[in-house]
């Protein structure tokens, strides 16, 4: 008799527990927003056309739009040689040799390397450098006295990323 009382009590407790466990699940929201993960170098899916490359490079270095006649002149070697990167390399070196090219002085660059790198990335890659890029480029510039702003511009403007938008 004593045993059956205990069994009844246990059953009653289990039943009560079962009903109390059927509560609606709470919608818990943690305090973290969704984040879209983008490439640090941005999504650049298109290769610049001949005219785009020349006119953008011209504007980047001379601070003004290229004239139609200058664009036509620069297009000639572009269409007459198969290795476009080689021609672009030569065009950029010719631009950099012009006294009209707007390039910061070496003193200015070395006075604030961080700022120079940030501005260079913005100007040519249309984005900020990530922390690693900033650290790497800063190290490279500070450890090599031979690196001039022209040299950085030349390397940037002949890189693959500069050929895309």
Helix (H, G, I), strand (E, B) or coil at 47: strand
Instruction: Candidates 56, 84, 118, 134: give the one binding other proteins (CB under 8 A).
Output: 84
Q: At what angle do helices 113-125 and 131-143 cross, to 10 degrees?
A: 120
Query: Distance between CA 165 and CA 117 in Å, rounded?
Result: 20
Instruction: Candidates 80, 99, 100, 107: give the one binding other proteins (CB under 8 A).
Output: 80
Q: Counting contacts by CB under 8 A, is residue 71 touching other proteins?
A: no
Among the candidate windows 30-38, 58-66, 111-119, 137-145, which touches other proteins by CB under 8 A?
137-145
- 161: enclosing H helix or E strand: none
Beta carbon nearer to other proteins, 12 or 135: 135
164's tokens: 């895309």
Instruction: Candidates 8, 40, 63, 112: give the one binding other proteins (CB under 8 A).
Output: 40
* Cβ 155 to other proteins shortest distance, Å: 4
Query: Distance between CA 144 and CA 151 in Å, rounded?
Result: 11
Among the candidate windows 8-16, 18-26, 29-37, 67-75, which touches other proteins by CB under 8 A?
67-75
Query: Distance between CA 129 and CA 123 in Å, rounded?
Result: 11
Query: Distance between CA 91 and CA 126 in Å, rounded?
Result: 21
Beta carbon nearer to other proteins, 15 or 144: 144
Helix (H, G, I), strand (E, B) or coil at 164: strand
Query: Distance between CA 159 and CA 127 in Å, rounded?
Result: 15
Instruction: Candidates 9, 10, 16, 90: give the one binding other proteins (CB under 8 A).
Output: 90
Q: Which residues are near other proteins by CB under 8 A? A: 39-41, 43-45, 47, 72-74, 76-77, 79-91, 93-94, 96-97, 133, 136-137, 140, 144, 146-148, 150-152, 154-156, 158-161, 163-164
């Amino acid at each position: 008799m004593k045993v059956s009382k205990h069994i009844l009590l246990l059953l009653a407790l289990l039943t009560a527990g079962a009903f109390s466990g059927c509560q609606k699940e709470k919608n818990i929201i943690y305090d973290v927003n969704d984040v879209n993960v983008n490439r640090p170098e941005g999504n650049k899916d298109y290769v610049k056309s001949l005219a785009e490359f020349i006119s953008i490079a011209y504007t980047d270095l001379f601070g003004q739009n290229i004239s139609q006649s200058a664009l036509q002149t620069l297009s000639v070697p572009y269409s007459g040689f198969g290795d476009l990167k080689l021609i672009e390399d030569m065009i950029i070196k010719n631009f950099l040799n012009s006294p009209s090219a707007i390039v910061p002085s070496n003193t200015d660059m070395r006075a604030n390397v961080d700022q120079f790198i940030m501005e260079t990335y913005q100007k040519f890659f249309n984005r900020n450098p990530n922390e690693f890029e900033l650290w790497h480029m800063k190290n490279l510039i500070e450890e090599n006295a031979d690196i001039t702003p022209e040299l950085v511009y030349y390397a940037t403007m002949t890189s693959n990323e500069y050929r895309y938008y």
